[in-house]
Chain A
Amino acid sequence: MQSTSPNFTQNAKDALQDDPLQAALAKLTDGFPIQRLEAAARLPEFEDLRDEARDIKTHVLENLDLYLEAYEKKVVESGGHVHWCQTAEDARETILKICQNANAKTVTKSKSMISEEIAVNDFLEENGIEPVETDLGEYIIQLRDEPPSHIIAPAIHLSKEQVADTFRDAHTDLEKDRPLDEPRALLEEARAKLRTKFLSADVGLTGANMLIAETGTNVLVTNEGNADLTNNLPRVHIVIASIEKIVPTLEDATTILRVLARSATGQDISVYTTFCTGPRQLNDLDGPEEYHVVLLDNGRTDMIGSEFHEMLRCIRCGACLNHCPVYKSVGGHAYGWVYSGPMGAVLIPNLIGMEEAQHLPHASTLCGKCESVCPMRIPLPKMLRRWRERQFKAELGSTRARWALKSWVWLVKRPRIYRLAMNMSVAILGQIGFRGRFKSLPFAKGWTSKRDLAAPTGDTFLSQYHNGARGDQSGELIRRGGRK
């Protein structure tokens, strides 16, 4: 997929003016985060489970090559095939070849971020094979030719009226003035349309929430059941997964599943958690006759052992998006590529390059909420800072910003001058602020064009401290001396 990440600033401005998008994002705030809290409250062991989940993935990453070998062996033993693909192009070609060997005309797909990453839909279409997204949200955005705007709720940016218009444009065989005002009507229509696709597809392409080394199994988590109709009905099941999806055992997968849905939607567990291993077995009445796993690298091996190594623990729950003040203001499309939110801002520069995605690590207030809700305890703010440092070293970013940073560094390394400068500016700004506020300030237009900036009203922390000010136990400031 071609990224629009270089246009992040403009994308974000547009998003802020987009009323339906803002209405949709406002709903997000009341939904997932509250449900997550309630689910966590129902499970006293939630925090301990997060620790265990983190440790499992940390252990896997330290031995990833060995686990991949063990996993491959089990897939082969169960009658499946493993295809190792270094690049998106390798993966697209591999999938196409499997489809062509199966004489496939239609491929049903259940939601997979990796498949977005390698843009396999366009490629299959170019080669005369029809890919059909079956997750309701993915189906809607496929009809609209848009990327997902959220990992687990890809069409979250759309209103039901927009969905209705999309269906009217796409389903031209149906009556023009049929009622489509209610979400239920939209769902019924999509269900009927997709049911025929499920039954006629030659190949089912799914992602994988995890790959289990012990048994050569892939895990699929959905609420709709679309991944199940996708993997069970067609003659060929292809799994596309990136190499870091490995976990050791069924028990380890189980531990991670206990934190996945709770972090994502606030469900205790998703409706359907499915474990697929190889093709159908002797005397089975259904299931695919062929089972293929396309293992994708696409930049991940470069992250191993790097300062972004820990990002590979990510299980794509979306909690960091749901809690991010920046994501909640601009939505997923502003980030300009497949992923978004804090995890996207860390991952995207790794996958498409730091220069192309240079704005994204700055699309964060570093408030730390993402790390506090991440089930795998990924230090996202730390890694966003790493990208900012790398950019500074690579001399990316505006000259003015670089000059300001350099001056700041010069100043903070000289505490006496720093204090003097601070005392002076606090005193001056305190005097010239009108009713304790600034309506505009040079060098701070980015702030003051939208809102007032509070003027400093007292001394700096250090001078108050030196003058004997201390906090009491409640944190209330007790002033001894110094001016009020």
Chain B
Amino acid sequence: MSGRDAILGKIKSNLDRPNDLESKQAIQNRLQAHQKNLIPQRGELNQDQRIALFCQEASRVNASIVELMHFDEIPAAVSEYLRTHQLPAKVKIAPHKDIASLDWDVNTSLMIEEGRGAGDDGVSVSMAFGGVAETGTLVMTSGPETPTSLNFLPLDHIVVVRAHEIAGNYEAIWERIRDVQTKRGCEGTVPRTVNWITGPSRTADIEQTLLLGAHGPQRLHILVISEATT
């Protein structure tokens, strides 16, 4: 008997469930319905409140946040960030149409490289799928325009998120991911990697002393863009 049959057989016989066929159907229905459970009150807010709570919660976990009106303000905001932290003028950006298409030469002498993350990347700029206000969380999805390695290899991670894509709660994001996948013709699937990122990397493994920048980025900088383009 295979390991699979042995394990499943033993579970079945120990459970002693009355009607297998009925249970199987009930479970298929439950999986397909993927109903929401209790959503905390603080995740149910209007758009202005959502953005305010998102910023408040993200700062609580040591992220820094700048609100911008338009996408074309991003290159200047990135240079400003590099100056503030006295970082080399070199940035790895996601090959995302809304970021790569920006005029990175304007006002700046930035060295821009496009692509996935590398071990010696200092600063990266990537595009969030959305945000979650209840905990100040960024949601990143993997894809041709949004390589996951950019979220983890650099020491400084700059993330662009659209204000109207900041949801109140995680459930709203799952719903949007399902919609996007369905529109792409991939109903019932998810991107290879979905990252919820809440603040920069940290550890307290040595004497419970909190230190930022364990293996991932030491700083997380969020650019919230109000402009409502898609």
- Residues of A whose CB lies within 8 Å of any CB of B are 24, 27-28, 31, 43-45, 48-49, 52, 56, 62-70, 77-78, 83-86, 90, 134-137, 140, 153-156, 158-160, 163, 183-184, 186-187, 191, 194-196, 198-199, 213-215, 217, 223-226, 228-229, 231-233, 243, 248-252, 254-255, 257-258, 265, 267-281, 283-287, 295, 297, 301-302, 304-306
Decide if A251 touches B27 in the complex (CB within 8 Å).
no
Contacts of A63 in B (CB 8 A): 15, 17, 23, 27
Q: A269-B135, A304-B15 are in contact. Are A66 and B23 (CB under 8 A)?
A: yes
Decide if A287 touches B206 in the complex (CB within 8 Å).
no
Within B3-38, the residues touching A (CB, 8 Å) are 3-4, 6-8, 10-12, 14-17, 20, 23-24, 27-28, 30-31, 34-38
Decide if B201 touches A24 in the complex (CB within 8 Å).
no
Minimum CB–CB distance from A62 to chain B (whole Å) comes to 7
Decide if B149 touches A163 in the complex (CB within 8 Å).
no
0/1 interface trace, chain B 130-174, chain A, CB 8 Å (1 if under): 000011010000111001110111000000000000000011001
Q: Which residue of A lies closest to B40 (CB)?
A: A45
Minimum CB–CB distance from A231 to chain B (whole Å) comes to 8
Decide if B11 touches A65 in the complex (CB within 8 Å).
yes
Q: Which residue of A lies closest to B199 (CB)?
A: A271
Decide if B31 touches A249 in the complex (CB within 8 Å).
yes
Q: Which residue of B lies closest to A301 (CB)?
A: B10
From B2, B34, B95, contact of A214 by CB (8 A) = B34
Minimum CB–CB distance from B176 to chain A (whole Å) comes to 12
Contacts of A225 in B (CB 8 A): 152, 201, 214-217
Decide if B214 touches A248 in the complex (CB within 8 Å).
no
From B38, B115, B193, contact of A232 by CB (8 A) = B193
Q: A65-B12, A228-B152, A297-B7 are in contact. Are A280 and B34 (CB under 8 A)?
A: no
Q: A86-B7, A277-B190, A286-B142 are in contact. Are A251 and B34 (CB under 8 A)?
A: yes
A-B contact pairs, 8 of them (CB 8 A): A52-B38, A136-B206, A140-B205, A183-B207, A191-B213, A217-B190, A271-B201, A274-B196
In Å, the complex CA distance between A232 and B118 comes to: 12
Contacts of B182 in A (CB 8 A): none
Q: A251-B35, A251-B37, A275-B190 are in contact. Are A191 and B215 (CB under 8 A)?
A: yes
- Residues of B whose CB lies within 8 Å of any CB of A are 2-4, 6-8, 10-12, 14-17, 20, 23-24, 27-28, 30-31, 34-38, 40-42, 57, 61, 95, 115-117, 119, 134-135, 137, 142-144, 147-149, 151-153, 170-171, 174, 188-209, 211, 213-217
Minimum CB–CB distance from B186 to chain A (whole Å) comes to 9
Q: A64-B11, A248-B27, A284-B144 are in contact. Are A31 and B214 (CB under 8 A)?
A: no
Decide if B2 touches A84 in the complex (CB within 8 Å).
yes
Contacts of B191 in A (CB 8 A): 277, 281
Minimum CB–CB distance from A99 to chain B (whole Å) comes to 19
Minimum CB–CB distance from A236 to chain B (whole Å) comes to 14
From A62, A83, A254, A277, contact of B15 by CB (8 A) = A62
Contacts of B42 in A (CB 8 A): 43
In Å, the complex CA distance between A243 and B152 comes to: 29
Contacts of A45 in B (CB 8 A): 38, 40-41
Minimum CB–CB distance from A338 to chain B (whole Å) comes to 18
Decide if A199 touches B119 in the complex (CB within 8 Å).
yes
Decide if B195 touches A287 in the complex (CB within 8 Å).
no
Contacts of B203 in A (CB 8 A): 136-137, 187, 223-224
Contacts of A302 in B (CB 8 A): 10, 14
Minimum CB–CB distance from A358 to chain B (whole Å) comes to 24
In Å, the complex CA distance between A278 and B189 comes to: 10
Decide if A223 touches B7 in the complex (CB within 8 Å).
no
Contacts of B115 in A (CB 8 A): 285
Q: Which residue of B lies closest to A230 (CB)?
A: B215
In Å, the complex CA distance between A154 and B205 comes to: 8
Contacts of B4 in A (CB 8 A): 84
Contacts of A66 in B (CB 8 A): 20, 23-24, 27
In addition to A62-B17, A187-B214, A272-B196, 6 A-B residue pairs with Cβ atoms within 8 Å of each other are: A24-B207, A136-B206, A153-B205, A186-B206, A224-B203, A250-B174
Contacts of B137 in A (CB 8 A): 269, 273
In Å, the complex CA distance between A217 and B195 comes to: 12
Minimum CB–CB distance from A272 to chain B (whole Å) comes to 6
In Å, the complex CA distance between A159 and B205 comes to: 10
Q: Which residue of A lies closest to B27 (CB)?
A: A66
Contacts of B192 in A (CB 8 A): 276-281, 284, 287
Residue among B115, B193, B204, B213 with most chain A CB within 10 A: B193
Decide if B61 touches A271 in the complex (CB within 8 Å).
yes
Decide if B148 touches A228 in the complex (CB within 8 Å).
yes
Minimum CB–CB distance from B135 to chain A (whole Å) comes to 5
Contacts of B188 in A (CB 8 A): 215
From B3, B24, B151, B211, contact of A228 by CB (8 A) = B151
Decide if B153 touches A251 in the complex (CB within 8 Å).
no
From B15, B38, B174, B217, contact of A65 by CB (8 A) = B15
Minimum CB–CB distance from A232 to chain B (whole Å) comes to 5
In Å, the complex CA distance between A359 and B118 comes to: 51
Contacts of A44 in B (CB 8 A): 40-41
Minimum CB–CB distance from B99 to chain A (whole Å) comes to 14
In Å, the complex CA distance between A56 and B31 comes to: 12
In Å, the complex CA distance between A286 and B61 comes to: 28
Contacts of A187 in B (CB 8 A): 203, 206, 211, 213-214
Contacts of B7 in A (CB 8 A): 68, 84, 86, 243, 295, 297, 301
Decide if A232 touches B40 in the complex (CB within 8 Å).
no
In Å, the complex CA distance between A31 and B208 comes to: 8
Q: A229-B152, A248-B27 are in contact. Are A272 and B201 (CB under 8 A)?
A: yes
Minimum CB–CB distance from B181 to chain A (whole Å) comes to 10
From B34, B37, B144, B196, contact of A285 by CB (8 A) = B144
Decide if A276 touches B171 in the complex (CB within 8 Å).
no
